[in-house]
Amino acid sequence: MSKRTPGAWTVESDGTTVSMGGQCVIVAPAPDYRPQDQKANAALIAAAPEMAEALQALLACPAMNEDFAEVGTMQAYDLARIALHKAGVES
């Protein structure tokens, strides 16, 4: 995996601050500052490391073999690969 802040990321009780080990990593902004958007952004940011690991596991799965996979499976494979690349994560 590429360089990133290691460890479990959590959303603090305010619902908008993401921290790692009790230290603020990021405050999830929303363009119009709606609390529900900020909370959704924070949850997505906090889940990013686990989602990257899940996508890497998916790409390594033998069922994702291009020779045998269905079209929809290969489309999902491509989306996972693109997302990991965008995040700077090796796939």
pLDDT the model gives residue 84? 92
| Per-residue model confidence (pLDDT) at position 1 | 43
Query: Averaged in consecutive runs of 10 residues, what is the pLDDT profile of the chain (91 residues)?
Result: 67 83 72 77 86 90 76 88 88 71
Q: What span, in angstroms and rounded, lies between the C-alpha atoms of 67 and 74?
A: 10
- Residues with Cβ within 8 Å of 44's Cβ and at least 6 positions away in sequence, in order, are 28
